[in-house]
Structure 1
Amino acid sequence: MRLVLRTGVRWKIAMAIAAVGALIAVALSLVVHNAARVSMLDSARDMQLDRVTFALRIYESTKTPRFGARLNDPALPEELKEKTEQGRRATYVEERPGEVPRIWAAVPVNNGVLSLQSRFTDRGAAVLKDLDRALVIGSVSVVFGGCALGILIGGRLSRRLRKAAAAAGRMAQGHTEVRVRDAVGGVVRDETDELARAVDALADALQERLEAERRVTADIAHELRTPVTGLLTAAELLPPGRPTELVRNRAQAMRTLVEDVLEVARLDGASERAELQEIALGEFVGRRVTVLNPDATVRVVHEARVSTDPRRLERILGNLLVNAAKHGRAPVEVSVEGRVVRVRDHGPGFPETLLREGPSRFRTGSSDRAGHGHGLGLTIAAGQARVLGARLTFRNATPRNADTTGAHGGAIAVLWLPEHAPTSTGSYPMLPVPDLPA
């Protein structure tokens, strides 16, 4: 299994800036430390050379080494001895692991080499320690400052990206008036604005294409309505018989399809408005279900009065009951609990595609397309629910691959009616409502 590490843009930018800051701080600290150490050692060597020169003058006048100078010191380093043999004055830094460096200076004399040695001053070592401490503190400050700056910059970019993603999600849910550029906002212009403009342009192009397809579909269905009506009228004039019955059935099915397509086109155009009336929901559902499907059982758990469009509510109930009768199995149960209406069958349940993406026209999820509808029923029900400001959800009582022959199987469609009437635009912002048990 491949391990995937998921982090936000804010932390990625912060870690990147912190890593770069740490590398730069370490590199500069090493350079400064080495440069300071070399400078201090060079200064100590110059001072040691001045001291041995002064000791040489004393030696030449008194023939006795003074001020710690030694003649032909056996501990004199070989490198320094070679230089003095060439008649040169020289200095040398002797470094041993774990010890303070020794500063040597030597000059040639008539009977050998006059040399002087001393340890690197404690003051120099203390200065280097203070410098190293200051470099460490500065490096840590740079790293934390880089993290803070990265979080600040990344947080702003992350917020803009989250706003863009939220706006794109709302657009995907059908809110065509939403634009990513407006949601992102801000004064500073960056690549996020280019992305927002590209998404908005894509949304506008898709919206125009969908609108064009809707108009074409509506025009075709409208043009088909007259000949189909004429065909149905002509079929009524045919002599009785089995062929006549088949023609009438097919003509009626074609007329129903044309009317459904026209209704879907009207709902997609967002021009439908609800004609509100106050009704007792339980009593209304009971009467309509008795007419639409006498075999279905109705249970009113809690009565409530709602302001809604009875014609559209009846259309939703009819489509849900027809879908349960076609694709489910008896018994079909309808329950009313306050403003919530449930329609349940005991068949194989809704297809996974519908549960994941919602109802779609001309897609039923059935492997057999012959005589099993066109996927318009649930699409119309969902569209009418939007006009009412309601929410229509779909779920299965058990997974589709489980045994659904018992009483716990089947599909459940839940209609959530709003507490208040929908607005003049035919929509109403609904808060998420927890799914109640069936």
Structure 2
Amino acid sequence: MSGPESRPRLPLRFRGLRGRVMAAFVLGASLVALLLAGSVYAVSTSYMETQRVRTVERAVAVHAEILRLRLDSPRITAAEALESLHLTPGTIAMLQWSTGSSVVGADVGLPAVLEQAEEVPSAATEVTIDGHPYLRAVAEVEDGAVLHEFAPLSELETTLRMLRSILLASAVLAVAVAAALGAWAAQYALSPLRQVARTAARIASGEHDLRLPRAADDDLSPTVDAFNTMVDSLQQRIERERRLVSDLSHELRTPLTTLTTTASVLAGHREELSERPRAALGLLVEETTYLRGLLDDMLALARAEAGIHRSDPAPLSLSALLSHLLAGRDTGPVVLDLADDGMVRGRRMELERALVNLLANADRHGGGVVAVRVDNDGAEVRVTIDDAGPGVAPQDRERIFERFVTSSRSSGGTGIGLALVAETVTGHHGRISCAERPGGGARFVLTMPALSRPADTGEPAATQH
């Protein structure tokens, strides 16, 4: 049984707003073309057929009058009078009287059903002779003599066939033009939305001073003004958060530093204390150290989310940075593959802290770092860090980058280190992911744009405030 999954789906480019605009243009043009073509064909067919009938009826009436005048002369026979008529090419004339008939214009005799017709039709009718359509018109001559004329309809049918072809071609051309016009209209109508999307993406990546330029279009001005107002409000909120972070940093660090110093002084006199105060002092030192690390991570995460940076982006080598960090660590044998320089553009202190957090995470929860690799394909730089731990459950591989979330393999930690890594990497237009290392363990992959990546050419014409 076929379900919704088995139904054919349209390509992506025809499933969005652009596809709907194009479909509306094509459908509207198809309906209009169909109605116009059908109307033109129906009116033209009716008109030409009516004119053909009138022409044949007038011709047979005139010919009947001519025959009446010529048959008044005893020296002209009916056959001679019929042959003297000037018939249009292809027309068959038959003069029928009570004792016989005479035919002009046909190589063979007419069917018996026509020759033996007893009733004279009052209007022209269509008949078929030797497989060809004819229009039959009848007029009385005199003394029971009847003139039958059969005008060919092949020329009229050829004309109508050509008219159908022209109307069909015109309808197809109209639909094609409508499709092209719909594509252009969709492209033109959606260009402001794409500009808004690109500007919003750049603002989300940290360029908070960007604004959309003023629009001359009265329909777009409210949207542009609302967007810029929203960004202004967002920037004001970020400024307030920055001030809050700065105030919290100052207010929390001072008492925590005092508490840490006091605990250190007491730890220097540990031997003077009895067993129970000594155990309590150990817990105090441990918790103040944990609290100091938690505060540092929280403030660093808050600064990263608020866009507060201590330095400007500059070219740096991730390979050199990793070599420096690994040189001062007692982590046992580590397989290093730093052949690529891994040049990126970033803030050294923030990237160094992110890499330190990744290495510390591998030491604390993954049994230690076993391999570090840097790859550069010209567009992106990938840093791969493998550990020897039990790995991360598939359902936790995205959650561990959220705040205060630890995986099932965790044996301590604040749950902020990886969240800070994710925020730092995102601020550098990169991404971080967790996967399973071949052979067991966890594999963290940090990806950032390479320094040699060509600049994008499709940036919106945004303004700086």
Q: Same fold (TM over 0.5)?
A: yes
- Does residue 223 of structure 1 match 2:251? yes
Counterpart residue type for residue 378 of structure 1: L
> What's 1:346 paired with?
388
Q: Structure 2 vs 1, CA of residues 265 and 80 (structure 1 numbering), >3 Å: closer, same or farther? A: farther
1:390–1:417 contact (8 Å) kept in structure 2 = yes
Matched residues in 2 for 1:308 and 1:16: separation? 47
After TM superposition, give the deviation of residue 157 of structure 1 in Å. 4.0
Matched residues in 1 for 2:405 and 2:141: separation? 107
- Does residue 254 of structure 1 match 2:286? no
Matched residues in 1 for 2:392 and 2:10: separation? 35
Q: Deviations over 1:89-138 (max 9, x none)?
A: x42232569642413244597x6584533224554444434433433333
> What's 1:374 paired with?
415
> What's 2:75 paired with?
none
1:290–1:296 contact (8 Å) kept in structure 2 = no
Q: Structure 2 vs 1, CA of residues 269 and 330 (structure 1 numbering), >3 Å: closer, same or farther? A: closer
Matches within 5 A, 1:256-335: 256-274=293-311, 288-289=325-326, 291-295=328-332, 297=334, 299=336, 301-302=338-339, 314-334=352-372
Identical positions, percent: 23
Matched residues in 2 for 1:395 and 1:19: separation? 48
Matches within 5 A, 1:118-267: 118-120=150-152, 122-157=154-189, 161-178=193-210, 181=212, 208-209=236-237, 212-213=240-241, 215-216=243-244, 218-236=246-264, 239=273, 240-267=277-304
Matched residues in 1 for 2:156 and 2:429: separation? 82
- Does residue 17 of structure 1 match 2:54? no
Q: TM-score, normalised by structure 1?
A: 0.68
Q: Gaps (5+ residues) in structure 2?
A: 73-77, 86-92, 102-112, 267-272, 457-465
Matched residues in 2 for 1:354 and 1:321: separation? 19
Matched residues in 2 for 1:354 and 1:176: separation? 32
1:44–1:120 contact (8 Å) kept in structure 2 = no
After TM superposition, give the deviation of residue 79 of structure 1 in Å. 12
Q: Structure 2 vs 1, CA of residues 206 and 349 (structure 1 numbering), >3 Å: closer, same or farther? A: farther
After TM superposition, give the deviation of residue 242 of structure 1 in Å. 0.9
Give the secondary-structure state (helix, strand or coil) at the position aligned to 2:414: coil
Counterpart residue type for residue 33 of structure 1: Y
The higher radius of gyration belongs to 2
Q: Gaps (5+ residues) in structure 1?
A: 83-89, 399-403, 421-427, 432-438
Counterpart residue type for residue 418 of structure 2: L
Matched residues in 2 for 1:71 and 1:194: separation? 89
Q: Deviations over 1:247-299 (max 9, x none)?
A: 23222322322232222233334342338999998787556445454546474
Matched residues in 2 for 1:126 and 1:280: separation? 80
Matches within 5 A, 1:78-97: 81=120, 90-94=122-126
Q: Structure 2 vs 1, CA of residues 268 and 337 (structure 1 numbering), >3 Å: closer, same or farther? A: same
Counterpart residue type for residue 326 of structure 1: R
Give the secondary-structure state (helix, strand or coil) at the position aligned to 2:441: coil
Comparing both chains, which one has the higher relative contact order based on Cα–Cα distances under 8 Å and sequence gaps of 6 or more? 2
**Cα RMSD between the aligned structures?**
5.0
1:105–1:116 contact (8 Å) kept in structure 2 = yes
> What's 1:103 paired with?
136
Q: Structure 2 vs 1, CA of residues 384 and 142 (structure 1 numbering), >3 Å: closer, same or farther? A: closer
- Does residue 409 of structure 1 match 2:409? no
Q: TM-score, normalised by structure 2?
A: 0.65
Q: Structure 2 vs 1, CA of residues 287 and 274 (structure 1 numbering), >3 Å: closer, same or farther? A: same
Q: Structure 2 vs 1, CA of residues 254 and 22 (structure 1 numbering), >3 Å: closer, same or farther? A: same
- Does residue 27 of structure 1 match 2:59? no
Matched residues in 2 for 1:286 and 1:253: separation? 28
Q: Structure 2 vs 1, CA of residues 201 and 284 (structure 1 numbering), >3 Å: closer, same or farther? A: closer
Matched residues in 2 for 1:350 and 1:78: separation? 99
After TM superposition, give the deviation of residue 364 of structure 1 in Å. 3.0
Q: Structure 2 vs 1, CA of residues 280 and 169 (structure 1 numbering), >3 Å: closer, same or farther? A: closer
1:328–1:348 contact (8 Å) kept in structure 2 = yes
Q: Structure 2 vs 1, CA of residues 237 and 343 (structure 1 numbering), >3 Å: closer, same or farther? A: same
> What's 1:5 paired with?
10
2:21–2:182 contact (8 Å) kept in structure 1 = yes
